[in-house]
Amino acid sequence: MMRKTSLILLSAAAGAAATLLVTQPRASLMGTSARAAAADTYRQLNLFGDVFDRVRSDYVEKPDDKKLIESAISGMLTGLDPHSSYMDAKSFKDMQVQTRGEFGGLGIEVTMEDGLIKVVSPIDDTPASKAGILANDIITNLDDEAVQGLTLNQAVDKMRGPVNTKIKLKIIRKGQDKPIEVTLTRDNIRVRAVRAKVEDGDIAYIRITSFNEQTTEGLKKEMANLQQQIGTDKVKGYILDLRNNPGGLLEEAVSVSDAFLDRGEIVSTRGRNAEETQRRTAKPGDLAKGKPVIVLINGGSASASEIVAGALQDQKRSTTIGTRSFGKGSVQTIIPLGSGNGALRLTTARYFTPSGKSIQAKGITPDIEVMQDVPDDLKAKTDTKGEASLRGHLKADGQEETGSQSYVPPDEKNDKALHTAIDLLHGIKHNAANTTTPPPADKAKAAN
């Protein structure tokens, strides 16, 4: 029997891996009905073998046997739910890089524009920033090979590589008559999952963009920096921004929650069998030292983000502001299939908040709902459909909820949810025109 090796929490769009889980084979006696079911299964496998042989022999062009088998495995898994899937060797490697949160590379955040690679920003203290790469630089060539015609992922793959290896970039920069050529040496790059700043002189604002292996370490570092800047006793409170965070590692969600708790349950995971139930609890040591915490969520906050929001909300440790979260309440296990064979991503459990509530296809309802003012040209693009809208999703117990608003204004001065949080920490109450406190659950159901 294969060992289950990693738990992950993954949104519909993106995500990463989680904790180690080893299971032992189960011994059981097979009754008559079980033997009959097994015999029927083997007949179906024979049918698959017959179809496979027919395709190999009669398809109009000679098919690739490996691709046929991978496609069959992929179809079996994607037919289960939206989050189970097969990863080939390359996809598995990419997922591991994403979950580690570090890789050999240059330290450039890039996007694709008119078929060329545009620098969004260089990451501080990386080969790119040290070489003088600037935001809005256009990369036209990588090692003398034109990037025109490559996808963004292909270009990123070429820029990544083993630490201490070199790559030459040709860059077009506004205001320069001739292209700039620069040779960079790849270094170990850490993805910055946590960013922080001081708001209004006494509020610690922390933005978590994903839950990878670097997240908790980054959170602790940023909290210490903020406390030093403001003064521990002068901190009015903390704003934890989880908006549009698609999720990631289960263990990181647990440890981030634990950073704001002294005791109590954080989350429980429940599989098909009762003996697989696990409960995660907080350890003493609230890094926020009891100061008020506000969590910002929206329709793009999923899985690991929802674990944190749900734990702090249920434990009465935070006030949650924004719009209803995505509603992904399942856990995936990564099962490696051996060298060069990729891995399975298989849904193996649902998770429950400390109050015993499943948010699957429902989401976390904020304590204070705040809707953003969305520009007319973006209104059709800023609502996330949510887990309940995904084909084949695990069904919820009770009424399901569709998606909600996921727009975050690029200019902070227009961010109504953020300003509501700041005002709340300063003791300023908003009127009903700006915010809404959701009705009790029973009334909410009646209204729908």
Catalytic residues: 303, 314, 328
Q: Indicate the pairing of strand 203-208 with strand 237-241.
A: parallel
Question: Is residue 447 classed exposed, middle or buried when 0-12, 13-18 and 19+ CB atoms within 10 A define those classes?
Answer: exposed
Q: Residue 369 is encoded by which pair of tokens?
A: 């709902």
Contact (Cβ atoms closer than 8 angstroms) between residue 368 and residue 435: yes
CB atoms within 10 A of CB 47: 10
